[in-house]
C-alpha cells in the first residue's frame, strides 16, 4: 500500500501544471505523479499551433475571443465557462512564461501571434511549430526540481478506488486513490490518496487515422465511467483537416492549421481550390467545417486525399515558423515549397469527457479532472483551435485552488483491499488483443467517423458490444496487461461515443449524422 496526499494521473500540461502548483504551495505534502510511458510522452508534447490567448489588445479583445469560441462551439458552449477561461488566459500564460516557457517574438520583442481556423484575429502564441514540446520539457524540468513530487513513469492506472472496492453502497461516491500496474515488476499496487486528479488526456487511438500518440486510449474516462462519474458530449470528436496522408503512420503526422493561417490553400486532385464553396472564410473556416468539406470532396471524387498548397508561401517564413513540418515532409519526399502535401482529416481531439465543475471537480468527491479528458463546457460542439492548452492551464489552476480549500479536512480511517488477482492465468494467445484492436479502429473509422448515419451507428454498436463480451471474458480470467486494459478502456469509450451519438437529435459543430437535420 502506497500513501500520498495528492495523486496525479498523467504528465501532460494538465497534470504537470497542477502537480507543480501543488508542490510549491504545499512543501510539506507528498505529491505523486504517475504516468504510463516515459514522462514526456503525451499529446501535449506534439502540440504545434500554440496557445490562444488575447495578447494584442489593440486589435484583439476578450469579447472577440469569446465570440469566436462560442461560434466554433455552435451553440453548445457554456458561456460563463468561456468567459472565465478567456479572461483568465493572460494570467495563466504569464505564469508559465515566468516559469521559463518561451514563445516566438518579432524583432521588436513583441509576441509573434499566429492565426488558425475560426479565429477572427491573430492570437496564437507559439514556439515555431513545436510549441508543445517546449512546454512539456520546461514543465518537466521544473517538476524535477521539486523535492516533494515523486514521479513514477511506466506506471499504468487501472481503476479509481471508491466505496465500490470497500463493498459499501453509495449514491455519492468518493475517490480514495487508484490501483496502478507497475510495469517494471508487473504488480498491481494500491495508491491511497486524499486528492486524485485525472489528467490522462484524449482517446484518438480509437480511430485508424489519428494525430494522437499511442498513449491516447481514453483510460481516464473509462476509469471514471466505471467509478460512476458523469460523462458528457462524447459524440463530439474533432477531426483535424490536415494530417499527412500516409497509411503506414500511427500517429498520422499533423500539418498545423497555422500554415493555413499563414496562407496555404487546400486543393482537390485536379489542383482546384474548393473551400470557398463551403464557407466564405475558405481555408480558415472552423475545423469542423473544413473536415466535413474534405470528407465530402473525397467521397465525390473517389480520391484518397486532398492537397495542401504552400508553394506560394515565403521560404523564409516556412524556415522560421514551420521547420519541423518542412523537414518531416522532406523526409517523406515532399518539398513543400515546390510540391503539394497530400493530406486527410484525422481524429484529433475529444470535446466531451468527464464532467467538471468550475473548480475542476468531478461528480465524485475528492476526484478532480483537467485537460483533454475533462468536459468543462468550454468547447461545446467543436473546439476552437488552440483553446485546449489554454483550458488545461486554467482548470489546473482551479483544481489547485479547490484542493487548497478541502485537503486539510480529508482523513482516512479505513483500509482498502489490495487488487484481487486470484485465479488469473497467463493468456494463451496475445494475438487476440491485436486483432480486436485493429477491428475496433476500423469500426470507428468506417461507422463513427466524420459523417455518421443511424444505420452505421447501429452496426458499430452491435460490433463493439460483441467485442466487449469477448474481451470481458479474457479480462476476468487472465493476468492483466497494459494492452488488454487499454483495449478494454477503448471498448468502454467507444461504447459511450456510439451511445451519445445515437442519443443526439440534431447536427451541431463536429457532429454530423446524415439522418438528422442541421440547424
Ligand atoms: P496529455 O498531454 O495527452 O497527457 C496525458 C498523460 O496521461 C500522458 O502523460 C499519458 O501517458 C498519461 N496517461 C494516460 N493514460 C494513463 C494511465 N492509464 N495511467 C497513467 N498515465 C496515463 N492544443 C492546443 O491548444 N494547441 C495546439 O497547437 C495543439 N496541437 C496539437 C497537435 C497534436 C499533434 C495533437 C495530438 C494535439 C494538439 N492539441 C493542441 C491538443 C492538445 O495537445 C491536448 O489537448 C493537450 O495537450 C492535452 O493535455 P493533457 O494534459 O490533458 O493530456
Ligand atoms: C494545429 O496546430 O493545427 C493544432 C492546433 C490545435 O489542435 O489546437
Domain boundary among 292, 311, 346: 346
Grouping H, G, I as helix, E, B as strand and the rest as coil, residue 184 is coil
202 alpha carbon to ligand 1 midpoint, in Å?
Answer: 6
Q: Distance (Å, rounded) from C-alpha 384 to C-alpha 387?
A: 6
pLDDT of amino acid 519: 59
pLDDT of amino acid 518: 66
CB 383 within 8 A of CB 74: no
Peptide bond into 409 cis (omega under 30): no
Residue appearing with cell numbers 486524485: 196
As separate numbers, helices (DSSP H) first and strands (DSSP E) second, the chain gives: 13, 17
According to DSSP, the residues that pair with 200 across neighbouring strands are none
Task: Write down the catalytic residue from 287, 383, 452, 488.
Answer: 287
Q: Are residues 449 and 365 in the same domain?
A: no
CATH number where 167 lies = 3.50.50.60
CB 245 within 8 A of CB 304: yes
162 alpha carbon to ligand 2 midpoint, in Å?
Answer: 36
CATH number where 468 lies = 1.20.58.100
> Is 35 close to ligand 1, i.e. is its CB under 6 Å away?
yes
Q: Are residues 296 and 445 in the same domain?
A: no
- Lining ligand 2 with CB less than 6 A are 48-49, 256-258, 349, 385-386, 388
Instruction: Write out the three cell numbers for 264.
Output: 496555404
Q: Which domain holds residue 501?
A: 431-510
Q: Are residues 173 and 27 in the same domain?
A: yes
Q: Are residues 164 and 203 in the same domain?
A: yes
- Looking at the structure of the chain, the number of domains it has is 3
- Give the nearest ligand 2 atom to 255 CA: 3
| Residue 8 maps to a domain | yes
49 alpha carbon to ligand 2 midpoint, in Å?
Answer: 5
Active site residue 287: yes
> Which residue from 116, 452, 118 is spatially nearest to 288, judged by alpha carbons?
118
| Residue 307 maps to a domain | yes
Q: Are residues 491 and 366 in the same domain?
A: no
| Residue 121 maps to a domain | no
| Residue 104 maps to a domain | no
| Residue 217 maps to a domain | yes
With a cut of 70, list the residues of the chain below it in pLDDT.
518-519
Task: Pick the ligand that lies closest to the CA of residue 51.
Answer: 1
Residues in the chain: 519
Q: Distance (Å, rounded) from C-alpha 197 to C-alpha 322?
A: 34
Q: Distance (Å, rounded) from C-alpha 290 to C-alpha 510?
A: 10
CATH number where 312 lies = 3.90.700.10
Instruction: Provide φ and ψ at 384, rounded to 5°.
Output: -70, 135
| Residue 156 maps to a domain | yes
Task: Pick the ligand that lies closest to the CA of residue 258.
Answer: 2
> Which residue from 261, 293, 257 is spatially nearest to 275, judged by alpha carbons?
293
In 92-165 the beta strands, taken as DSSP E runs, fall at: 113-114, 124-125, 149-152, 155-161
Q: Are residues 45 and 146 in the same domain?
A: yes
| Residue 164 maps to a domain | yes
Domain boundary among 329, 346, 363: 346
**pTM, full prediction:** 0.97
Amino acid at each position: 500500500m502506497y500513501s500520498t496526499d495528492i495523486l496525479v494521473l498523467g504528465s501532460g500540461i494538465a497534470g504537470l501544471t497542477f502537480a507543480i502548483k501543488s508542490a510549491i504551495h504545499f512543501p510539506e505534502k507528498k505529491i505523486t505523479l504517475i504516468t504510463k510511458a516515459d514522462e514526456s510522452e503525451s499529446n501535449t508534447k506534439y502540440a504545434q499551433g500554440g496557445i490562444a490567448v488575447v495578447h494584442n489588445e489593440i486589435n484583439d479583445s476578450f469579447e472577440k475571443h469569446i465570440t469566436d469560441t462560442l461560434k466554433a462551439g455552435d451553440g453548445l458552449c457554456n458561456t460563463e465557462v468561456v468567459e472565465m477561461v478567456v479572461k483568465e488566459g493572460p494570467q495563466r500564460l504569464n505564469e508559465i512564461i515566468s516559469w521559463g516557457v518561451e514563445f516566438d517574438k518579432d524583432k521588436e520583442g513583441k509576441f509573434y501571434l499566429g492565426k488558425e481556423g475560426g479565429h477572427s484575429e491573430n492570437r496564437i502564441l507559439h514556439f515555431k511549430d513545436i510549441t508543445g514540446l517546449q512546454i512539456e520539457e520546461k514543465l518537466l524540468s521544473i517538476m524535477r526540481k521539486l523535492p516533494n513530487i515523486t514521479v513514477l513513469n511506466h506506471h499504468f492506472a487501472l481503476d479509481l478506488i471508491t466505496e465500490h472496492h470497500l463493498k459499501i453502497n453509495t449514491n455519492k461516491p468518493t475517490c480514495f486513490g487508484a490501483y496502478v500496474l507497475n510495469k517494471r515488476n508487473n504488480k498491481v499496487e494500491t495508491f491511497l490518496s486524499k486528492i486524485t486528479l485525472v489528467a490522462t488526456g484524449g482517446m484518438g487511438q480509437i480511430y485508424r487515422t489519428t494525430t494522437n500518440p499511442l498513449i491516447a486510449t481514453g483510460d481516464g474516462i473509462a476509469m471514471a465511467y466505471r467509478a460512476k462519474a458523469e460523462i458528457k458530449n462524447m459524440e463530439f470528436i474533432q477531426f483535424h483537416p490536415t494530417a499527412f496522408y500516409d497509411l503506414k503512420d500511427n500517429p498520422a503526422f499533423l500539418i498545423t492549421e497555422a500554415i493555413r493561417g499563414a496562407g496555404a490553400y487546400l486543393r482537390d486532385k485536379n489542383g482546384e481550390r474548393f473551400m470557398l464553396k463551403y464557407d466564405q472564410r475558405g481555408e480558415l473556416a472552423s475545423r469542423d467545417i473544413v473536415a466535413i468539406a474534405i470528407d465530402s470532396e473525397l467521397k465525390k471524387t473517389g480520391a484518397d486525399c486532398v492537397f495542401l498548397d504552400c508553394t506560394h508561401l515565403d521560404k523564409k517564413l516556412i524556415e522560421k515558423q514551420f521547420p519541423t513540418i518542412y523537414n518531416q515532409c522532406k523526409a517523406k519526399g515532399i518539398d513543400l515549397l515546390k510540391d503539394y502535401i497530400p493530406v486527410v482529416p484525422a481524429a484529433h481531439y475529444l470535446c466531451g469527457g468527464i464532467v467538471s465543475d468550475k473548480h475542476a471537480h468531478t461528480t465524485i468527491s475528492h476526484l478532480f479532472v483537467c485537460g483533454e479528458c475533462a468536459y468543462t463546457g468550454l468547447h461545446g460542439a467543436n473546439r476552437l483551435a488552440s483553446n485546449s492548452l489554454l483550458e488545461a492551464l486554467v482548470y489546473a489552476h482551479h483544481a489547485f485552488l479547490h484542493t487548497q480549500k478541502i485537503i486539510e479536512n480529508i482523513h482516512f480511517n479505513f483500509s482498502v483491499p489490495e487488487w484481487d488477482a486470484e485465479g488469473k492465468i497467463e493468456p494463451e494467445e496475445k494475438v487476440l488483443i491485436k486483432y480486436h484492436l485493429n477491428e475496433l479502429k476500423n469500426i470507428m473509422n468506417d461507422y463513427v467517423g466524420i459523417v455518421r448515419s443511424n444505420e452505421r451507428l447501429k452496426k458499430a454498436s452491435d460490433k463493439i458490444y460483441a467485442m466487449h463480451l469477448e474481451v470481458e471474458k479474457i479480462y476476468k480470467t487472465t493476468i492483466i496487461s497494459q494492452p488488454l486494459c487499454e483495449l478494454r478502456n477503448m471498448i468502454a469509450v467507444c461504447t459511450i461515443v456510439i451511445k451519445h451519438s445515437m442519443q443526439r437529435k440534431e447536427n451541431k459543430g463536429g457532429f454530423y449524422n446524415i439522418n438528422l437535420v442541421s440547424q
